[in-house]
A and B are shown apart, each in its own frame.
Chain A
Amino acid sequence: MEESGSSGGAEAVINLGIGSSVPISYHPCFGPHEDLLLLEADDNLVSDIFSGRVTLRGLPDEDAVLCTKSKTYAIKFVGNSNSMFLIPPSNSPGFIQDDAHGKVSVIKLAPGNMELVEVSPKLDKLKQLLLESPFGPGEADAMMMDDDVSEKNLALYTWSDLVNIIQASDEELLKGLESLSAIEIDGYWRVIDESYLDMILRMLLNNCVLNSWSFDDLDEKEVVSSLVADEFPKQLAGHCLRVFGSEVKGTNKWKLEPRLVCLHFARQVLREEKMRVESFMEEWKKKIPEGMEEKFEMLEGEVLTERIGIETRVYTFSVRSLPSTPAERFAVLFKHRPKWEWKDLEPYLRDLQVPRLSMEGLLLKYTRRAQSRPDAEPIFSAR
C-alpha cells in the first residue's frame, strides 16, 4: 500500500487517494483545548459569519445568543458520545509541527458541537430600561437653555449600551425602539413622557388650525419651525410627526394618521380608569380635532370592554404592555381574562412572531378551543 503524498494534516485525510493510507497520531499539543469550539451553521450563516457581521450578545448571567444583522439565534450545546477526533490542517497557526511532513495529528477529542436555533429577540427588557427615565418637559427646558443634561445621573442608554444588554439583532433592536417610539437624543435612546408628547401633539394640531394646514399635507420644515417658536426642542418636533404621522411617498410632506392621533387621545381620556362606554365615547369625541373621526375599531389591541349588568365599561389594556414571548403573553392574557372570543384575542396576538410556528400552531400549543355549537364563535381558554 502506498504512503500518501507529502502533505499532512487534515488535507492529507480529505485528499487521501484511493488505495493510499496515512498514519493518524496524537498531536504533540494534544489536549482538552477548551478554547476550540465547533459551531454548526447553515450556508447563509456561514457567509454572514465570514463577512464579519455576527456577534454574541448577553450579560454574563444569561445564555448567550448569536445575532446576525437581522436574526437572533439561541446557542445549544449538543453532546456526542462518539469519539470525534479533530484534525487541523498542517499549516494551522498555533499547531504547527516541526516535522509535519506527511503526518496527520489529532489536536483534541471534541465532546460535541454548538447548534443554533432561531428565536425571537428578547426585547421586554428594552421597554423596562427606557421607561426608567422618560424624556420630559424639565429636560426639554434644560436642553433649550443649553444646560448639560447628562449631569443629572439619569439611567440613560446609548446604542452600544443597548447592544450589550439586549439580546436582539441590530434590525430587531431598531424595530423594538421604533415600536416604543423611542428617539436618540444627544446619543441616548429615550422614550418621551406621554403627557409631554401630548403637549407637543396638541400644539401641533393647534398650529395646523391657525395656519390652515391640512392634516394630509404637512411640510416638515414649517411644522418644526412653528413648534420651535412655541419653545419645543427641534428634534422632538420632528419626532412628533414621526410618532403620529407618516411620510407621503415621493414628497417631503407628512400626513397625520387619524388612528394614531385618536388612539393617543383615547389613552389620555382613559388613563388608569374604567369608564362607562357612553361617557368614554363622549369625552373622547371632545378631544378629537376637527377633520378627524374617531372609531371604536381604532382601539383594537389597546382597550377592552367588559359587561357589568346592563353597563358596558371600557378600560386600557395595551398589547404594548404585554410580554413578547408567547408563553408569557398567553399566561398574562388568560390571567386577565380566562375566556376570550377570537375577535378580542386576535389583536393581542397579531404581533407575536415565533420562528417556525404559525398562528394556528401557537393557538394549538397555548390554548384550548371550545365551541358550544358548530356554528358558534369559538372560545379560547388556557391549556
Chain B
Amino acid sequence: MKPYLKSLLFLAVAGAFALPWLSPPVYFVSLLFVVFMYVVLAESWVLIGGFAGYLSFGHGAFLGIGAYTTALLMNHFHLSPLYVLVSALPAGAAAACVAAVIGYPALRLRGPYFALITLCFAFVMELAVKNLDFLGGPEGLWLKAMGIEVGLARGIFFEVMLVLMLVTVLVVRRVESSRFGAGLKAIKEDEEVAQTLCVDTPRVKLSAFILSAFFPGVAGGLYAYYLSYIHPETVFNIDISILIVLMALFGGGSSYVGPIVGAISLSLVNELLSAFLKAEYARVIYGLLFVVLILYLPDGVISFFRGRKSGAG
C-alpha cells in the first residue's frame, strides 16, 4: 500500500473514532453504526463465501442468534451496563456453536445446494423464533434500558462497533495471507485437488464457517443493545442474509477489501436513493445496479481499480 494511502486510512479511522464526540447529527452516527455492522457481516462472510466459494445465504441468522442470546442473557441475569458490552462475546460464541452444528453436515454439500440449505436454515430460524413463546414470539423482546444518557450510549456503541469492524477486517486480512487462507482458496479452485494436496478440507471449511459466524454473532449482540427492542423480522430478516452476499460480491469477494467497499457503497447508495427518490424508483435503480454490475464488472467493483493497475482483470 502506498504511504499516502496509509496515512489517509489512518486519518479516516481516527476521524471515525472522534466522530461521536464532536456532536454530529444523530442521524450520521446511526447510519455509520449500521454501515459498520454491514462491513462486519460482509467481511466475515467472505471467509466462507469468498475464499472457500461456499455461498452462505444464511449469515443473517447468526446476527439474529447473537441478538437473541444477548437479549436473553441481559433479561435473565440483569447485567449492568458495563458487563453488557462484554456479554456480546458469549453471543458470538453461541453463533459459532450453532455454525458448528449446522456447518458439519451442511458443508458436505456444494454449490447451489449449500446456498440453498443455508437459506432454509435462515428461514427456519426466523419462523421458529417467531413461534417460540420464551423468545418473545411474534411480539419480540424488550431489552432493559442501560440507564445512561441516550447520546452517550449511542457514542459508546458506535465506538465498540468500530472496534469490532477493525478487528474483523484485520482478522480476515490475516487469514487471507495465511496457510489457512491458502487452504480455503484451494478449496474454491478445486476441492478434490486440494484434498489430494493434503488440505484437510472438511476441517478447514468448518473452521472457516465457525469463524465467519462468530463476528456476526458479536455484531448481533451489539445491535440488540443498540435497538433495545428486537423482533424476529428485524434481526432474522432474510433480506439481511441476501444483502450480505450481495455486498460482498458487489465489492468483490476474493479479497478482504471487496466487502468493505461493497458494504459501504451499497449502504450509502441505498440510503441516498431512498432519501431523494420515491421508494419504488429507488429499488428499481438498486436492482439495476446488480444487473449492470454483473454485466460489466463480474468480479466486483474492486476489479475495476485492480484492472487499471495490472492491465488485466
Partners in one complex: no
Which B residues fall within an 8 A CB radius of A?
none
